[in-house]
Amino acid sequence: MFVKHPLIRPDSIEERDYQRALADTCLRSSTLVVVPTGMGKTVVALLVIADVLSRGGKVLFLAPTKPLVEQHARFLREHVVDRSVTVLTGAVAPEEREVEWIQNDIIVSTPQVVANDLRNERISLRDVRLIIFDEAHRGVGSYAYVPIADEYRGMKGLTMGMTASPGSSMAKIKEVCGNLGLENIEVRSESDPDVAKYIHDIHMDWVEVEIPPEMRRLSDILRKLFDRYVRTLIEMKLMTSARPASRRYLLEVQAAIQAKLRSGEKNGSYYRALSLIAMAIKVDHAMEMVETQGLTALRNYIEKLKEDAASEEGSKASRAIVSSEEFERLEQMMDSLQMEHPKISRVMGIVSHQINEKPDSRVLVFTQYRDTCDMVANYLSRVDGVSVTKLIGQSGRCGEKGLRQKEQIGVLQRFREGEFNTLVATSVGEEGLDVANTDLVIFYEPVPSEIRSIQRRGRTGRSRAGRVVVLVTAGTRDEASLNASEKKEREMRKRLRSLKQQWDKESAKVKRSEEKRQPPRKGQNALTDFA
């Protein structure tokens, strides 16, 4: 059964009860829609857009990146009839954007462009009847969603936020809703009765690997250096041994010291402390490389430290690390090792098995770091039957160019069309992009963010059953990251339900109050009506 609407192409969208229910709610009040990736948030948006446009006015659909904007525009052009769709990004000249804004019914844009055009009075939101904020969890701080929503307040139009996760804290959820003018929350999960019948099974596997003794010794050398820096900070009374010396703790101390210096507080030891914190953070990153990523990633990072230390503009922290006795021992030991992290062989084996069992499979491997992405893609290219490509961000570094947004779109298209059966991606592949129906998603490492974890998982199980494999190095920060993301996800769902219940109670209270103010219907007694 397909959706029937005069503005939606016939026989193009499957009718799903939960999507229609979500759309109906969004049409009644400005709503944050929280559903897992792959459950059709964009279809819900389409249903809302069609109903809003049938009453007149414009729709503004905002997404954080150009590839996402292009993706949404392509979807809307495929499914909306009798209404025009345009794309506005920084690639379109300002004068041309003014004309496009006037002439089109649906504007799909990056928020920075709209915020700039509003500030320069090139456009107005007066005729806009609906603004959709995709990846609405970004609507905090100074992000461009916030001034657009501020400009839209009081214009009597609807707003709609879409996200797989608005964050795990109640404060963050309330901030997103407050900033974007959202007064209602609708949450769906795979276990909800109206959703379950449309969901394909996703099998989760957590694969634990042991770090080899040789790599553990490298980590121990780095740990000794790290502990020395932290011990000095404790002796300076800037840190306490009662709290684990995590990267977050170091950054908190760094921010506190910088705030004191900005306020004019004079203390020479503060500059020494900032240098020690920078050293500790750099060494902590090196420990992460060897424990969770591999020797290739560690070697690349060590080379960057040495280049920084040798440069005239380089940091004192890098020079101090490179000149240490521990660093010299680390390099000597690294030179004698010809091995890689055991995760690599596991990834190769898992992908090889998947392609052999199901040759038409699509496989997506997520990595946290660009160096690891390069390394994993290199090793997978050696596996029989695997044709692999990379999806990375725009920023270039160390002589290597990133992928421009147009190139990212091209990579995804070639993956969808089957030119490659395996895609290795950094975080650019997590947020919203339609990376085709993948049969297998591999996390090279767990990520502590529940938002990113949900987005990664949502890349499979869309139109058929899928599998997710998370690689975890025993006894390392991998375990902490896995526990953190799972805990935050549980907290997020609990707080969303709690906030939803609060708002529903408030809404019911307001409704009862309004009903009491209504005059009694003819022939009825007001006292009996409201008894």
pLDDT tens digit string along 275-296? 999 999 999 999 999 999 999 9
Return the residue matching tokens 């890098």.
318
Paired strand residues for 440: 363, 467
Is 202-209+341-480 the same fold as 17-196?
yes
Q: Tell me: the pLDDT tens digits for 19-45?
A: 999 999 999 999 999 987 778 889 999
Crossing angle of helices 477-517 and 170-180, in 10° steps, is 50
Rounded to an integer, the average pLDDT of 457-463 is 66
Q: Is the pLDDT of residue 514 over 70?
A: no
Banded pLDDT at 505 (limits 50, 70, 90): confident
Give the fold, CATH level 3, of 202-209+341-480.
Answer: Rossmann fold (3.40.50)
Closest CA to 43 of 80, 85, 86: 80
Q: Tell me: the pLDDT tens digits for 371-417?
A: 999 999 999 999 999 999 999 887 765 556 788 878 888 888 899 88
Higher pLDDT, 354 or 403: 354
Q: Which residues contact 220 (CB under 8 A, 6 or more apart)?
A: none
Q: In the prediction, which pLDDT does 404 show?
A: 82
Q: Is the pLDDT of residue 528 over 50?
A: no
CATH no. for 17-196:
3.40.50.300
Q: In the prediction, which pLDDT does 527 show?
A: 33
Torsion of CA 43, 45, 51, 53, to 10 degrees: -120
**CATH class of the region 213-335:** mainly alpha
Closest CA to 26 of 128, 159, 192: 159
Region of poorest pLDDT, from 112-121, 284-293, 522-531: 522-531
Residue type at 400 in one-letter notation: E
In the sheet that holds 58-62, the strands lie side by side as 85-88, 106-109, 58-62, 128-134, 158-163, 31-34, 184-187
Closest CA to 378 of 348, 358, 355: 348
Closest CA to 283 of 301, 296, 256: 301
Strands (E), 135-199: 158-163, 184-187
What's the rounded Cα separation, in Å, for the pair 356 and 42? 34
Banded pLDDT at 525 (limits 50, 70, 90): very low
Residue type at 108 in one-letter notation: V
Q: With beta carbons less than 8 A apart as the criterion, state whether 67 and 433 touch.
A: yes
Banded pLDDT at 520 (limits 50, 70, 90): low
Residue 61 φ then ψ, to 5°: -115, 115
Region of poorest pLDDT, from 16-25, 52-61, 66-75, 339-348: 66-75
Closest CA to 187 of 40, 28, 32, 30: 32
274-286: burial string, b at 16+ Cβ within 10 Å, e else: bbbbbbbbbbbeb
**Token duo for residue 470:** 């998370």
Kindly list the distances between the CA atom of residue 416 and the CA atoms of 171, 237, 406, 413, 435, in Å, as whole numbers in the listed order.
39, 56, 15, 5, 7
Average pLDDT of every residue of the chain: 89
DSSP state of 133: E
Banded pLDDT at 239 (limits 50, 70, 90): very high
Kindly list the distances between the CA atom of residue 116 and the CA atoms of 53, 90, 142, 315, in Å, as whole numbers in the listed order.
25, 10, 13, 36
Hey, CA dihedral for 132, 135, 141, 144, is it positive or negative? negative
Banded pLDDT at 529 (limits 50, 70, 90): very low
Hey, CA dihedral for 474, 478, 481, 486, is it positive or negative? negative
| 3-class SS of residue 17 | helix
Q: Is the pLDDT of residue 432 over 70?
A: no
What's the rounded Cα separation, in Å, for the pair 213 and 219? 10
What's the rounded Cα separation, in Å, for the pair 240 and 237? 7
- Within 10 A of 502 (CB to CB), how many other CB atoms are there? 12
pTM for this model (two decimals): 0.76
Q: In the prediction, which pLDDT does 459 show?
A: 66
Q: In the prediction, which pLDDT does 519 show?
A: 62
Banded pLDDT at 166 (limits 50, 70, 90): confident
Rounded to an integer, the average pLDDT of 258-264 is 93
**Token duo for residue 504:** 């529903």
What's the rounded Cα separation, in Å, for the pair 187 and 324? 53
What's the rounded Cα separation, in Å, for the pair 375 and 422? 14
Closest CA to 104 of 123, 118, 78, 121: 123
Q: Is the pLDDT of residue 479 over 90?
A: yes
Q: In the prediction, which pLDDT does 437 show?
A: 72
| 3-class SS of residue 186 | strand
Rounded to an integer, the average pLDDT of 214-233 is 96
Q: In the prediction, which pLDDT does 170 show?
A: 82
Banded pLDDT at 526 (limits 50, 70, 90): very low
